[in-house]
Amino acid sequence: MSDRKVIAVVGATGAQGSGLVRAILNDPNGGFVARALTRDRTGTKAKELARLGAEVVEADVDNLENLRKAFAGAYGAYCVTFFWAHFSPEKEMAEAQSMAKAAKEAGLRHVIWSTLEDTRQWVPLSDNRMPTLQGKYKVPHFDGKGQSNHFFTDAGVPTTFLLTSFYWDNFIHFGMGPKKGPDGRWAITFPMGDKKLPGIAAEDIGKCAYAIFKKGEEFIGKTVAISGENLTGTEMAAAFAEVLGKEVRYTSVSPEAYRSFGFPGAEDLGNMFQFKRDFEEYFSGTRNPNFARSLNPSLEDFNTWLKRNKNALKLEDAAASA
């Protein structure tokens, strides 16, 4: 037990972190143990991780002292921030800075920072193809993460920068699944035109991260990008139709229309999809499912994920709820 390497997992009760904790626990001879960070160890998900064998430690990423204690004695850490809990890139940047500081002080030998592109490197604020949001961002939930990369390099933390992809779980939890329109037909709606959207089963992010920790040295200082499959809206709709056994179409809307949908974060996501659409060659090109599968041989493609989750989809009749 004592010579096994402790991985402190931020967001351990969440989508990315819980997959990593389970990957570590499912490989008891892999040489690693999971330290699951949560703000509330009495929560249902935290108790479940403890039951499965994780060490559960209370920590709030907004509290540097908490992070220092949670990272102490560990070999590595998985660092992630929670944009959708507060919608603030500044808060994400402050949290990333604290995690990098605590990681350095604890002498961690390998950190994975779950980051995303600073889209302003492709779409400067002066580029009017999309609106500037919150005064200085194009895609706030991407830009703050990308802008935070330097905290880890500046502090000299041995870091792997992990570029993740759209979780297919958003079709279940983020209201993005097929909806029945006023015309009575089922459709998924994205502003992607005919471009591909890299996607992944959230659970696979943790499995890939675990492989990166196991490979260690090879990935320190590297940026790696993962996806489960890169599909157009039409291809995703066809998979829905096949698995659900009903017609599902893809409605391609303009980014302007998507931004005006009015739900919290619609502008941010409208810009995000437009970035992925306009820079498809870079964005999909970087996220190669074959590479992710080399890390995680059980990586799911969309059809496999959909078949496994079809009963969890809450199919919405938009016409009925309007």
Ligand X SMILES: NC(=O)c1ccc[n+]([C@@H]2O[C@H](COP(=O)([O-])OP(=O)(O)OC[C@H]3O[C@@H](n4cnc5c(N)ncnc54)[C@H](OP(=O)(O)O)[C@@H]3O)[C@@H](O)[C@H]2O)c1
Binding site for ligand X (CB under 6 A): 11, 13-17, 38-40, 43, 46, 60-62, 80-85, 141, 164, 166-167, 170
Collapse the DSSP code of 17 into the 3-class scheme (helix H, G, I; strand E, B; otherwise coil) and give the result. helix
Distance CA 28, CA 171 (A): 32
Collapse the DSSP code of 81 into the 3-class scheme (helix H, G, I; strand E, B; otherwise coil) and give the result. coil
Q: How far is the CB of 56 from ligand X (least distance, A)?
A: 9
Q: How far is the CB of 29 from ligand X (least distance, A)?
A: 26
Distance CA 185, CA 173 (A): 22
Q: Name the residue nearer to ligand X (CB basis): 91 or 109.
A: 91
Residue from 61, 75, 74 nearest 114 by CA: 61
Distance CA 115, CA 144 (A): 9
Dihedral, CA of residue 294, residue 22, residue 100 and residue 153, to nearest 10? 0
By Cβ distance, which residue is nearest to ligand X?
Answer: 14
Tell me phi and psi for residue 238, to 5 degrees: -65, -40
Q: How far is the CB of 169 from ligand X (least distance, A)?
A: 7
Q: How far is the CB of 20 from ligand X (least distance, A)?
A: 9
Q: Name the residue nearer to ligand X (CB basis): 156 or 175.
A: 175
Q: Name the residue nearer to ligand X (CB basis): 4 or 25.
A: 25
Residue from 154, 55, 157 nearest 106 by CA: 157
End-to-end CA distance of the chain: 56
Q: Name the residue nearer to ligand X (CB basis): 13 or 252.
A: 13
Q: How far is the CB of 184 from ligand X (least distance, A)?
A: 29
- Give how far Cα 112 sits from Cα of 10, 53, 159, 295, Å: 10, 22, 6, 14
Q: Name the residue nearer to ligand X (CB basis): 6 or 49.
A: 49
Q: Name the residue nearer to ligand X (CB basis): 61 or 188.
A: 61
Q: Tell me, what amino acid is at 64?
A: L
Tell me phi and psi for residue 100, to 5 degrees: -65, -40
Q: How far is the CB of 320 from ligand X (least distance, A)?
A: 26
Q: Name the residue nearer to ligand X (CB basis): 85 or 257.
A: 85
Q: How far is the CB of 19 from ligand X (least distance, A)?
A: 8
